[in-house]
Amino acid sequence: MSTAHHRKKQPLFVRQQLLEVAARLASEKGMTAVTLDAVSGASGVSKGGLLHHFPSKNMLLEALFESLLERLDAAIEEAMRADPLPHGRFTRGYLHACLALRDQPEGTKDWAQVTMVLLTEPQLRQRWHAWVRERSEEYVGTDSSVDAAIVRLAADGIWLADLLGSHDMDESARQKLIDRLIELTQL
C-alpha cells in the first residue's frame, strides 16, 4: 500500500540469505518443511521476492545443491593445494573435505544435512552422479587404487556419521582413524 518496499536492494545478499534459510529449514525440520512460504517467512523476504530470485521451487533446490557442490569443490581444491604428493592427493582432499564439516563454525553442519536431504530428491541425485563421474575420470591416474577407493568410501561413511551423530567416538580414536586412512592413501 503505502509504507513498504523500503528494503535496500541487495540482490546477491538476499539470494544468499534465501539459500541459507532454505538450508537451515531442511536440516532442522526435514525436506517437507522446505516450502516457499516457510523460506520467505523465515528470511523476511516476501514470497514474490523469493520467486523473483528462484522462478520455481525446483530452481531453488537446484541452486542450493549447486552451491553445495561449489563449496565441496573449493574445500577439496584447497586441501589439494597444500598437498605435495601427487599419489592419492584427490582422495586425501576428499577425505579432508568430508572431515572438515565437524570442526567448522556453526551453520556449516547444516549444509551437510541439506546435502543428504537434497540427495533424496531423485533429480538432484543425477547431478551428484555426474559430479562423481567427472572427478573419478579426472583423477584416474593418481587415485584409482583399491585402498584409495576404501578411503573415499570411509570418508563418505564419516560424513554420514558426523551428520547423523552415529558412530560416535572420542577424539583420540578419531585421530587414529584419520591417520590410518591417510596412511592407506599413500600405499
Q: What is the residue type of 169?
A: M
Pick between residue 50 and residue 154 the one whose CB is nearest to a second copy.
154
User: Would you count residue 78 as binding a second copy (CB under 8 A)?
Assistant: no
52 is in the binding site of which of DNA, a second copy, none (Cβ under 5 to 8 A by kind)? DNA
Q: Which residues contact 3 (CB under 8 A, 6 or more apart)?
A: none
Half-sphere exposure of 53 (CA within 13 A, CB side): 24
User: Would you count residue 149 as binding a second copy (CB under 8 A)?
Assistant: yes
Q: Is 23 exposed, middle or buried (0-12, 13-18, 19+ CB in 10 A)?
A: buried
User: Would you count residue 57 as binding DNA (CB under 7 A)?
Assistant: yes
d(CA 106, CA 101): 10
- Residue of 7, 16, 30, 74 interacting with a second copy (CB under 8 A): 30
d(CA 79, CA 92): 8
Which residues of this chain interact with DNA, rule CB under 7 A?
A: 1-2, 4-11, 14-15, 34-38, 44-49, 51-53, 55-58
Which residues of this chain interact with a second copy, rule CB under 8 A?
A: 26, 28-32, 113, 116-117, 119-122, 125, 128-129, 132-133, 136, 146-147, 149-150, 152-158, 160-161, 164-169, 173, 176-177, 180-181
